[in-house]
Structure 1
Amino acid sequence: MAPVQVSNLRKSFGALDVIQNVSIDITDGEFLILVGPSGCGKSTLLRMIAGLEDISDGRISIGNRIVNALSPKDRNIAMVFQNYALYPQMTVAQNMGFSLEISGVKKAEIQKKVAEAAEVLGLTSLLQRKPSQLSGGQRQRVAMGRAIVRDPDVFLFDEPLSNLDAKLRVQMRGEIKALHQRLGSTIIYVTHDQIEAMTMADRIVVLRGGRVEQIGTPLELYDRPANMFVAGFLGSPSMNFLKGTIEGQSMRLPGGERLALPAVPSGHAGEVVIGIRPQNVIVNAEGGTAAVVKVIEPTGAETYVLAEIGGIEITCVVNDRVDFEPGQQIPISIASPNLHFFDAASERRLTDDTVSRAKLA
């Protein structure tokens, strides 16, 4: 286990900067997740920490060592890839112990470490099987076991669950989180799946275009997103955004409709954007703003209702079954105090203090 420090890191391919002045301090034993859309630079950043990608500028420290010039094998890290990369001709035990074998570790020590890792991962009964005899989840456990036996300072995971089906991904999320709690290891984990990020991380780094948009705990990012990108990226279904002009205790939308607000920002003139989680939109609300139903999506426990207000689409999550029909008008309102305000020009969050003062006015 060791802390990791990324300082002013930059990576360029010719004139293209894919990592732009990124700085992150990762504490010893922390589970940090790098998340963002495809092409945002998260896998490139992980490969730079691993030593698989050259650094254009900046510094990476693992423990008390600057590792910029060190090869991957000298950084004492272990990486788990999405494609498992198991040797098909070897048994589970041989796959898990192979890196120790080529490092010259004695056979008895290898057997001890493999047995301990297999016990942690529930692989003891599978040690003599070949990869072709395993399920996808079991192969992923073997890949994790191969990393564990090396006793690294840092574990690096590069989208390890992307090849698994939905049910198995949920199971493996729990197993990786339990493994982290048991080992107390430092983990840096890359995913494009915001549900993985929200459920597993101690802290999340949201990347866009090679830049850090925000760093914080899952609930910090969910409750107080720094900008519209973070707000829209985290949360399922995605946050609704409505642009309009604040007038008194309501917002006037571009089509002239008015939406009553439980709170309004003070000291801000002109257009703003309000962000509303679909779970915080109340349908069939007395005195609400008229919306036209477009699509109904029942999921069983919940129903997603896609509606339209003055040409702007808004998603509502209803914790019940509804008998709405497309084209039907329904009144909607916003639950207090779950409302986010953003500057229309910069897309940055308006401060919580600004909104709080308005509530007290």
Structure 2
Amino acid sequence: MATVEIADLKKSFGAFPVVHGVSMDFKDGEFIILVGPSGCGKSTLLRMIAGLEDVTSGTISIGGKVVNTLSPKERNIAMVFQNYALYPQMTVAQNLGFSLELSKMPKAEIDVKVNESAEILGLAPLLDRKPSQLSGGQRQRVAMGRAIVRDPQVFLFDEPLSNLDANLRVKMRAEIKALHQRLGSTIVYVTHDQVEAMTMADRIVVLRSGVVEQIGTPLELYDFPKNMFVAGFLGSPAMNFLPGKLAADGSAALVLNNGESVALARRPDVVGDNDIVLGVRPQDISQDPDNGTAATVKVIEPTGADTHVLVELAGNEITCVLGARLDMKPGDQVRLSFKTPAAHFFDAKTEARLEAFSNENKGQQA
């Protein structure tokens, strides 16, 4: 396995830049996930690491060696694609061993590697089948097995689960994570699904418009997002944002744009009463019939384990995750409390987090 080092990497298609001076280092054996909205450059970045896209400027190093001018074959990486890319006329065993045949490996060695990867991925009973006889999850495991047999320095995954149904995605997430733990491999994984990122990654790289917004562990990014973009991207349902000003009397309260006041668990440590944005995750909002802020129910979504409620509060739409069984309907009035120590505060103009990250407030807010 190997480290991956990216230094001031840029990519343009003609006059159109899509990656803007990205720099990051991935440790040996680390599971890195690149996330971001469509068009943010994450797949382009992965394809540059693989050698499938040329680098406009900057360097990519794998295992301490600059690979900018090397072909994909020379980089000793393996890539798993969204569409599996299996050969339909070949059996599972032939698909698994095809790249080894091309490298002129002896058949006996190929058989050993194919059988080993098949055992790891539960494909042993399927070796004589063709891709058309497999389910989506089985095809994805064959694609992963084809990568494993090559013993690459780095595994690259490009949205490998996006074609699977919801239940199978959950199962395959666990299988890929277990595979990583078993092989101790370096994995760079691209997805637009923040749930995949939160549940699988050692560290997450959040990209927007070809720029790295933040890098950190899943809980670091969830608990201490650098800005409103990261805060809103990670977490399901997404974080709520309420614009306003801190109360002029110095109390722990936010005065909303319509003049209504929302009580806070604490007053943020910021100077002045400039326009700020309160960020609260749906799970941190609670009902408070006596002292809560009035809101009107718009949509109710029972999930079984809990109930997601969309409300209108002072002209803002807010999503709350409330009790498992709620007797309410659209148009009902509820009173909600935002007095949570897990609240976030952002500058309304720059969208940057107003309170700096520190181990001290990490402990207080965890």
State the TM bucket, normalised to the shorter chain. Answer: over 0.9
CA distance in structure 1 between the aligned counterparts of 2:228 and 2:346, rounded to whole angstroms: 7
- Which residue of 234, 243, 253 corresponds with 2:256? 253
Q: Quick check: 1:306 aligned with 2:310?
A: yes
CA offset digits 1:152-203 (Å, max 9, x no partner): 0000000000010000000000000000000000000000000000000000
Partner residue of 2:187? 187
Q: Quick check: 1:153 aligned with 2:153?
A: yes
Q: How far off its partner does 1:151 sit? A: 0.2
Partner residue of 2:244? 244
Q: Quick check: 1:278 aligned with 2:274?
A: no
> Is the Cα–Cα contact under 8 Å of residues 302 and 324 in structure 2 kept in the other structure?
no
CA distance in structure 2 between the aligned counterparts of 1:59 and 1:353, rounded to whole angstroms: 30
CA distance in structure 2 between the aligned counterparts of 1:84 and 1:236, rounded to whole angstroms: 28
Partner residue of 1:10? 10
Q: How far off its partner does 1:51 sit? A: 0.2
> Is the Cα–Cα contact under 8 Å of residues 35 and 192 in structure 2 kept in the other structure?
yes
Partner residue of 2:341? 337
Q: How far off its partner does 1:285 sit? A: 4.1
Q: How far off its partner does 1:330 sit? A: 1.0
**SS of corresponding position for 1:29:** coil
User: Partner letter of residue 303 of structure 1?
Assistant: T
**SS of corresponding position for 1:160:** coil
CA distance in structure 2 between the aligned counterparts of 1:173 and 1:81, rounded to whole angstroms: 15
Q: Which runs of 5+ in 1 are unaligned?
A: none
Q: How far off its partner does 1:335 sit? A: 4.1
306-315 or 176-185, which moves further after superposition?
306-315
> Is the Cα–Cα contact under 8 Å of residues 173 and 200 in structure 2 kept in the other structure?
yes
Query: What number of residue pairs does the alignment pair up?
Result: 357
CA distance in structure 2 between the aligned counterparts of 1:312 and 1:82, rounded to whole angstroms: 38
Kindly report which structure 2 residues correspond to 1:131-210, keeping only aligned pairs within 5 A, or say none.
131-210=131-210
> Is the Cα–Cα contact under 8 Å of residues 2 and 28 in structure 1 kept in the other structure?
yes
Partner residue of 2:53? 53
**SS of corresponding position for 1:98:** helix
CA distance in structure 2 between the aligned counterparts of 1:113 and 1:75, rounded to whole angstroms: 20
Kindly report which structure 2 residues correspond to 1:35-114, keeping only aligned pairs within 5 A, or say none.
35-114=35-114
Partner residue of 1:226? 226
User: Partner letter of residue 179 of structure 2?
Assistant: L
292-301 or 96-105, which moves further after superposition?
292-301
Aligned sequence identity (%): 68
Where do 4+ consecutive residues of structure 1 move more than 3 Å? Answer: 352-356
> Is the Cα–Cα contact under 8 Å of residues 283 and 316 in structure 1 kept in the other structure?
no
Partner residue of 1:315? 319
Partner residue of 1:295? 299
Note the aligned Cα RMSD (angstroms): 1.4
CA distance in structure 2 between the aligned counterparts of 1:179 and 1:3, rounded to whole angstroms: 18
306-315 or 209-218, which moves further after superposition?
306-315
User: Partner letter of residue 228 of structure 1?
Assistant: M
CA distance in structure 2 between the aligned counterparts of 1:273 and 1:167, rounded to whole angstroms: 36
**SS of corresponding position for 1:241:** strand
User: Partner letter of residue 282 of structure 2?
Assistant: P
**SS of corresponding position for 1:47:** helix
User: Partner letter of residue 260 of structure 1?
Assistant: A
CA distance in structure 1 between the aligned counterparts of 2:69 and 2:194, rounded to whole angstroms: 33
> Is the Cα–Cα contact under 8 Å of residues 285 and 340 in structure 2 kept in the other structure?
no
> Is the Cα–Cα contact under 8 Å of residues 51 and 72 in structure 1 kept in the other structure?
yes
Query: What's the TM-score, normalizing by structure 2?
Result: 0.95
CA distance in structure 1 between the aligned counterparts of 2:356 and 2:342, rounded to whole angstroms: 12
**SS of corresponding position for 1:94:** helix
CA distance in structure 1 between the aligned counterparts of 2:355 and 2:228, rounded to whole angstroms: 13
Query: What's the TM-score, normalizing by structure 1?
Result: 0.97
Q: 1:30 to 1:285 in 2, by over 3 A?
A: farther
